[in-house]
Amino acid sequence: MQDFAPDQVVVNSAHFIGGVYVDGGSNLIDVLRPSDGHVYAGLPVADAALVDRAVENAWHAFKTSNWATQAPRDRARILRRWADLIEADVAVLAPMEALGSTRPIRDAAQWDVPFTAEGIRFFAEFADKHGGEVAATRSDHLGMTISEPYGVVAAIAPWNFPLVMASWKIGPALAAGNAVVLKPSEMTPYSILRVAELAIKAGIPAGIFNVIQGDGRITGDSLCRHPKVSKVTFTGSTQTGVAIMRACAESGTKPVTLELGGKSPQIVFADAPDLDKVARMVAAAISGNAGQVCVAGSRLIVQRGAAEQVVAGIIRAFDALQAGPTWRQATTLAPIISKGQADRINGIVNRTVAAGAQLLTGGALAPSTGNGSYYLPTILAGVNSSMEAVNSEIFGPVLTVQVFDDDAEALALAAHPDYGLAAGVHTSDISRALRFARSLEAGTVWINRYGRTSDFVIPTGGYKRSGMGKDLGRQAFEANRRVKSVLIDFAE
């Protein structure tokens, strides 16, 4: 896809309830383009009354449409049609996604939109692949379990991958027969509205997928606490995840799926098959989306004999990146989502350097035209586990480097007191790789690679304060169904 003119992209600043756009009133939030800081729209904030309207509408659709009760293959057919419409709409969706997010147009067109469509197809195929069981009982009894949808699932999506993260929530919930009320991030609210339009065109009943706009304090909290919301799924910060758990406990209780923060290690042994390739992989895992990725490989833990070569390769990869607005094809280093976040990143780097870390490259805002915030990919060496950049989730392109001599030291450095979202291990020793896969406290361990592909069957989720439950995979579908036990005595 080619460069596009940002001022020519039209967005609909509204809610989407019952298959139509709904005006949100005069209480508006400024929505900025991260690439240049330009305010391009005003976002309505749904108050408790509008949240109630959206949830009641979804509940009514769940009860009165045939979405949950139709043959699962029919539901799957509609979802596949929806996925086809999303994929075919890339010329509209990709610029809309890139405009207000940190996703460069090339990535949005080649990855985000197709990945969103394929994820919905994957979960569509689960619609008729899951059922109840017959239990072992006495011969004059019949014991069985019945799997049923919850009803209305509330989904709260983050800003870093707006379409993809929303699809992780929507896909399994709808395939399982639920209705969904989604709140996108107030910083990236618009592309999912186009997807909601396409849902109606595909044949999903009006009200089964509603979108409400707003912030977390008013809209998100009201959504989580609504009495007709039966489950909540969220991706975002650990701090917000705690608040969501509290709201669900106080108003239910309700099950939650939470994918939260991470501080993921990349462990590189000197026997890794190709250290230059590993260096490029490590660089991509922290500079992709400017490090604004929950599974970003932000801690390099490298064996002493390989450290110099690997770090040099990472610096070369960083030097090749080109910062620029998301509407330019040539952009390979995305903007930071906001000036406040860029200042936060810079503050952590400066404090860590002041504490004794060695700045090898980066460590400052990149030059830019306009008011966008771009941060130079940064490497901090000479760090220890007590330093802020090693402990805190930075959510920016900042890599710390720690050196080890043996397996035990590598595992000790990789351990984090709070986070356990993902980890990478690079080695040609398969026995060591399997030992580390067992020993690392992380929900996902990548061996001789780092990052996801389109293997939707592999679930993702964290240990410790990195979350609970799973997105993707069979587990995500099952988390959107509840189980009823039935025991029948035979009549004589």
Half-sphere exposure of 413 (CA within 13 A, CB side): 26
The catalytic residue among 97, 197, 259, 393 is 259
Contact assessment for residue 301 and residue 265, using Cβ atoms and an 8 Å cutoff = yes
Q: What CA–CA distance (Å, rounded) separates 12 from 385?
A: 46
Contact assessment for residue 271 and residue 428, using Cβ atoms and an 8 Å cutoff = yes
pLDDT at position 345: 98
- 15-17 and 20-22 strand pairing: antiparallel
Kindly report the backbone phi and psi dihedral angles of residue 486, in degrees, each rounded to the nearest multiple of 5, phi listed first.
-130, 130
Contact assessment for residue 451 and residue 262, using Cβ atoms and an 8 Å cutoff = no
Q: What CA–CA distance (Å, rounded) separates 136 from 134?
A: 7
* Residue at token pair 């990869």: 317
Low-confidence ranges of the chain (pLDDT < 50): none
What is the H or E stretch that residue 475 is in?
Answer: helix 473-478
Contact assessment for residue 89 and residue 82, using Cβ atoms and an 8 Å cutoff = no
Q: How far is CA 108 from CA 293, 334, 392, in A?
A: 15, 12, 28
In 3D space, the residue among 86, 150, 89, 88 whose CA is nearest the CA of residue 121 turns out to be 86
| 259 among known catalytic residues | yes
pLDDT at position 1: 74
pLDDT at position 453: 83
Environment class of 28 (CB within 10 Å of its CB; exposed 0-12, middle 13-18, buried 19+): middle
Strand order in the sheet with 256-259: 20-22, 15-17, 209-211, 179-183, 152-156, 231-235, 256-259, 467-468
Q: What CA–CA distance (Å, rounded) separates 314 from 426?
A: 15
Q: What CA–CA distance (Å, rounded) separates 52 from 427?
A: 53
What is the H or E stretch that residue 436 is in?
Answer: helix 430-439
In 3D space, the residue among 107, 92, 99 whose CA is nearest the CA of residue 289 turns out to be 107
Contact assessment for residue 22 and residue 113, using Cβ atoms and an 8 Å cutoff = no
The catalytic residue among 125, 294, 388, 478 is 294
**Is the pTM for the entire model greater than 0.85?**
yes
| 294 among known catalytic residues | yes
Q: What CA–CA distance (Å, rounded) separates 124 from 92?
A: 24
Q: What CA–CA distance (Å, rounded) separates 330 from 376?
A: 17
Q: What CA–CA distance (Å, rounded) separates 98 from 190?
A: 11
pLDDT at position 369: 61
- 256-259 and 231-235 strand pairing: parallel
